[in-house]
Chain A
Amino acid sequence: MLLLIGAMTIGLILSLLAMGVFISFRIFEFPDITADGSITLGGAVAAVLLVAHVNPVLATLAAFAAGAVAGSITGFINTRFGINRLLSGILVMTALYSVNLHVMGKSNVPLLSERTMASVADTWGQAVLGASTVNLAGWAVNVRDLSVLVCCVAIVAVVGALLYVFFRTNLGTAMQAAGDNAQMIRALGVNVDNMVVLGLALSNGLVAVSGALLTQYQGFADVQMGIGMVVWGLASIIIGEALVGVRQLGFIIVGAVMGSVLFRLLVAIALRGGLNPNDLKLMTAVFVFCALVLPGLVRRMKRPRPVAATN
């Protein structure tokens, strides 16, 4: 039970990462590696502000702003200086490593007794339930774990809904179109470069919020916490797309959340079953590789179907 709740919580927190990666990789087909750095940046900014007794919600919003700045720098150097997309992300990610160390002042900032979203959720949970453990289907569950989970569900629901609404606005549809067919939306008067910058800002803002929440949940920020996170987000999206199967925005967002939670559960089970934690990144990379390659292989093995004539 504890395993389940923990895995779901982390899965939900990282689903914000998945939503961010969805914007860059899927909407813009922009392989944005900045996310590896901006998730740490979000964690670092939140941790430092929390240590300085800033309100946890404000600290999390500040993390969003910091991530957005990082993302827009990547977009800016790609669109204004014509630097290759992958390289733009790598440059900013590399720079962020130093920035993050400067923000934190050391490689790890623990949150011991600071007020965090997690501790606030805990206080509320205990006030509502009036106990520090509850009985859930025969299991004694720590109220702190349960309240944090509920809090994460609420946050992810709100962010997911906001994202969905955003992509139905004039600005949001223009952003989608900029990724789908740049030539077309340019002919309709949209500055595609600005859309890329804005899209990456939004993407990395979400990723940084994910990092901020993760920091508050696990009780520390670490300069290494971002390594391989882009691939992790990508794995969540791929699982999500397989789960929902529909290429419609609302479903894709829900799918990303489901994929993230499911992937985290699988990982938790694998770790429980004896997977060496050192092999985790390797397994994730292999998984994404298979998910990218297998559909093509399967299609090639099936006999080619006659293509229906257009028009």
Chain B
Amino acid sequence: MLDIHHIHKTFNAGTPNEVRALQDVSLTIDEGSFVVVIGTNGSGKSTLLNAVAGSFIVDTGAIRLDGSDITAWSEHRRATKVGRVFQNPFSGTAPNMSIAENLALAARRGMKRGLGWALTRSVRDELRDRVRRLNMGLEDRLENPIGTLSGGQRQALTLVMASWIKPKLLLLDEHTAALDPKSADQVVQLSQDVIARDKLTALMVTHSMHQAALLGDRLVMMHRGAVIHDFSGSEKSRLRASDLLARFEDVRRADRLDESAAEMLRRTYV
């Protein structure tokens, strides 16, 4: 389904601020698989998702999705296949437009947009149904600007929008990180439901070891722009939050060793 083939991405190449955000990442994800991505800050998780979504073009390597080579596709073209929820609740919705208009925009993700009426009766009926299923009482506020809603409500609606037309791939980048614990749980639950119901292929980044242990059928751990662990099947289902924390501790210890080794080398040779 998704085939990431030896991709590299360096930001600000050739300057003192050079960051090698992705270093030879390869990942193949089967149809219907729900992959959770964890990793330390700055390990390249968002960069990986952005590379797939097309926020930038990778330096080298190839990305195939659903039988097409999308490596050189623009972001809006990839949107025909990819649904996306961002970390920032403000990113996924147009604040000054109504809830209904936002959803109607999502109902045509990746399709041609002509001079047809945006909010036809059938679209309106369907969006009211879908919003009612969220159980947030938003179905009575469809005409309100979406910017007046809370972060949790906006993330829930963004999720509805991203999955309105079944995406070949759903990308979730720490989409609950900016929410209070209660809303975060609600949105996680909703994500799980949507992914299970529509049998979506999904890639989700999280900082919560609890979510990482609980969700998905595969877990990928990143560090310094590379994939360092990849658990699936029964190995993944046996993982606990505490195991993951131990892995992070290993990574930190290795980093410290690296640093002290570098220090030692410098003292010896410089």
Which residues of A are in contact with B by a Cβ distance under 8 Å? 166, 168-174, 176-177, 180-181, 183-192, 247, 310-311
Contact = CB atoms under 8 A, between A and B. Distances in A.
Contact of A176 (B77, B92, B94, B110): B94
A187 B114 contact: no
B91 A181 contact: yes
Contact of A189 (B90, B104, B111, B119): B111
Q: Is the interface of B mostly helix, strand, loop or mixed?
A: loop
A120 to B, nearest CB: 29
Nearest to A174: B113
A173 B152 contact: no
Given A171-B115, A189-B111, A177 B94 contact: yes
A180 B92 CA distance: 11
Interface in B144-167: 145, 150-152, 161-162
Contacts of A185: 94, 105
Size range of the interface on B? 35 or more
A176 B146 CA distance: 14
Contacts of A181: 90-91, 93-95
The 7 closest A-B pairs by CB, nearest first: A189-B79, A189-B110, A180-B94, A170-B113, A177-B94, A311-B150, A181-B94
A281 B115 CA distance: 39
A4 to B, nearest CB: 36
27 contacts: A170-B108, A170-B113, A170-B116, A170-B118, A171-B113, A171-B115, A173-B101, A174-B113, A177-B94, A177-B97, A180-B94, A181-B90, A181-B95, A184-B91, A184-B94, A186-B79, A187-B79, A187-B82, A187-B84, A188-B105, A188-B108, A189-B110, A189-B111, A192-B76, A247-B145, A310-B151, A311-B183
B171 to A, nearest CB: 9
Nearest to B85: A187
B23 interface: no
Contacts of A176: 94, 96-97, 101
Given A168-B119, A189-B109, A184 B93 contact: yes
B124 to A, nearest CB: 12
Contact of B76 (A173, A177, A190): A190
Nearest to A177: B94
A89 B50 CA distance: 32
Contact of A168 (B74, B102, B118): B118
